[in-house]
Amino acid sequence: MANRKLVAGNWKMHGTADSIAEIVRIAAAVPAGVDVALCLPATLIERAARAVPGFAIGGQDVHGEAKGAFTGDLAAHQLHDAGARLVIVGHSERRDGHRESDGQVRAKAISAMAAALDVILCVGESFAEREAGRAVATVSAQLDASLPPAAPDAVAYEPIWAIGTGRIPSLEDIGEMHSALRGRLVALYGEAGVAVRLLYGGSVKPSNAAEIFGVADVDGALVGGASLTAADFLPIVVAAANS
Ligand code: PGA
C-alpha cells in the first residue's frame, strides 16, 4: 500500500505576525487523505500553533544536543514546547550556509526524535554532481551518513540546483533517485524503511505538482516559495490528495 502523502511547506526566513492569517487560511482548507505541515521561522511557531490547533507546525532546524551553551540555537524539546510537531534537518541551506556535516545532521535527527518531533531529513546533489553522473551515488552516501538509527518520518530529496530556481529534474531522474533511496531505506530499516515518506523538493509548484506526485515512490513534497500563500500551496496539497 502506498504511503499517505505529506506536503510540507518550508517558509525559510519569511513571515511575521501578519502571516498568521495566511496560515489559518491554509489550515482551514486542507482536504482529507493527505498530511500537511508548515515549517515556520522559530519566531512564529508558538503563535501559529495556537492559531491552528491540530494542524502540524514545524521548525526548520534543531541543535543536536538536548541542552547547553549554544548561543542562538534551539533544542528539540524547546521546539516541542513551543508547539512544533516536526522539524526539518539537513536542508542544503543549512549544510552549505552553516557547514553542517552529515554527522551533525544525524545528531539533529536523533535529538529531534528523542523529543517526539517527526523528522524530515533532506539530501540532495549539486548541479556539478548531477552533470558528472554522480547524483545517485552522492545522495545515497549522504543519506547513509545522515540517517539516525531509527527510521525518520520522511526523507526529502532536494537537488540543490532545483531549489528556488524554477528548474526540476526530469520525472525519470526523480523516479531513479527515489527508487535508489527507497532501496537504501529498506536495506537499513527493513519494513520500517517502506513507511519512510520520500518527499521531492525543489521548485514544486501548482503547475508541476500532479506529475511529480505521479512518480513511483514520491510520497509528497517539501515546498519552499510556493508554500507562502494559500493560493499557491493549496493546489499542491489538493494534487497530493488526488494522486
Ligand atoms: P523551493 O524550495 O520550493 O522554493 O524551490 C524548496 C526547499 O528549499 O525546501
| Grid cell of 222 as nine digits | 517539501
CA 42 – CA 39 distance, rounded (Å): 9
Burial class of 20 by CB neighbour count within 10 A (0 to 12, 13 to 18, 19+): middle
- What value does the mean pLDDT of the chain take? 97
Cα 102 to ligand 1 centroid, rounded to whole Å = 20
Predicted TM-score (pTM) of this structure: 0.97
> In ligand 1, which atom is closest to the CA atom of 164?
5
Beta-strand (E) ranges in 77-138?
A: 86-89, 118-123
Q: Of the residues 38, 161, 205, 223, which should be mutated to test ligand 1's pocket, given the most ligand atoms within 8 Å of the CB?
A: 223
120-138: pLDDT as tens digits: 999 999 999 999 999 999 9
pLDDT at 72 over 90: yes
All structural domains of the chain = 6-242 (3.20.20.70)
pLDDT tens track for 74-119 = 999 999 999 999 999 999 999 989 999 999 999 999 999 999 999 9
| Residue tagged 537499513 (cell numbers) | 188
Cα-to-centroid distance, 159 and ligand 1 (Å)? 10
Give the torsion through C-alpha atoms of 63, 64, 68, 72, to 10 deg.
-20
pLDDT at 187: 96
Cα 215 to its chain centre, rounded Å, is 18
Does the CB atom of residue 164 touch ligand 1 within 6 A? yes
